[in-house]
Chain A
Amino acid sequence: EVQLVESGGGLVKPGGSLRLSCAASGFTFNNAWMTWVRQAPGKGLEWVGRIKSKTDGGTTDYATPVKGRFTISRDDSKNTLYLQMNSLKTEDTAVYYCTTGSELRFYYFYYMDVWGKGTTVTVSS
């Protein structure tokens, strides 16, 4: 069974840091391009960023609001995706979803049909 399980969420003060993890199983993780999407309370979905597979360069792309503060990385030996969040702001409060596509071409065009249940990050003093 294809599965993504996020962890690492919690309460953090503004200016603080947090690292989220996403454990993948049931598919060939090292070939997958992985994406983080977030959803603030009562708000819509927001694309955060993605990381390509190492064979496709392993490069990352980020949304403007998080560029320079968030870093996406992966450990293919552990089938795990990470989101390092620094200089957190109150507006970063959200449920963070780990997601990917089930087909190669889904990666290219941001089609996400595999989702985790999400982990909640609250930034508050």
Chain B
Amino acid sequence: QSALTQPRSVSGSPGQSVTISCTGTSSDVGGYNYVSWYQQHPGKAPKLMIYDVSKRPSGVPDRFSGSKSGNTASLTISGLQAEDEADYYCCSYAGNYAPFGGGTKLTVL
């Protein structure tokens, strides 16, 4: 059971786009199309933003999109807004457990 790998931080200016990567193995990210992404603001519980690699739950803006290629999944946030500043975590199905990524801090400049 190993954690997924994410960059520690990314940044972008309002209106720009940023992409956060999430690298796993063929036993998790690469083996299934069951990747999810969570947004977490300081002191708050995580919020599901993406599931099934690229689907958005009701209420999540379409500025948030997901994709996957091989063992790497990606979350893209377009038209950055100040309220997007938060920590983002990926998570993958891996059979009987669900590894998270280490988290990426998004700073909106």
- B100 and A47 contact, CB distance less than 8 A: yes
A residues less than 8 Å from B99 (CB atoms)? 47
A residues less than 8 Å from B52 (CB atoms)? 109, 111
A residues less than 8 Å from B51 (CB atoms)? 106, 109, 111
Number of A residues near B (Cβ < 8 Å) is: 23
State how many angstroms separate the Cβ of A64 from the closest Cβ of chain B: 5
Contact of B34 among A110, A116, A118 (CB under 8 A): A110
- List B42-80 residues whose CB lies under 8 Å from chain A: 45-48, 51-52, 57
B98 lies within 8 A of chain A by Cβ: yes
- A118 and B91 contact, CB distance less than 8 A: no
Interface centre among A43, A110, A118 (most CB of B within 10 A): A110
A1 lies within 8 A of chain B by Cβ: no
- List A24-63 residues whose CB lies under 8 Å from chain B: 35, 37, 43-47, 61-63
- A45 and B103 contact, CB distance less than 8 A: yes
B residues less than 8 Å from A106 (CB atoms)? 51
B residues less than 8 Å from A111 (CB atoms)? 36, 48, 51-52
- List B1-49 residues whose CB lies under 8 Å from chain A: 1, 3, 32, 34, 36, 38, 40, 45-48
Encoded as 1 (CB less than 8 Å from any A CB) or 0, chain B from 97 to 109 comes to: 1111111000000
A56 to B97 Cα, complex, angstroms:
17
Chain B residues packing against A (C-beta within 8 Å): 1, 3, 32, 34, 36, 38, 40, 45-48, 51-52, 57, 87, 89, 91, 93, 96-103
Name 26 A/B residue pairs within 8 A (Cβ), A-sorted.
Answer: A35-B98, A37-B100, A44-B3, A44-B89, A44-B100, A44-B102, A45-B38, A45-B40, A45-B91, A45-B100, A46-B3, A47-B91, A47-B99, A61-B97, A63-B1, A64-B1, A106-B51, A109-B32, A109-B34, A109-B36, A109-B52, A109-B93, A113-B48, A115-B46, A115-B47, A116-B45
A-B contact sample (9 more), CB < 8 A, given A43-B103, A44-B87, A47-B99: A44-B3, A45-B40, A45-B89, A45-B91, A47-B100, A109-B32, A110-B36, A110-B93, A113-B48
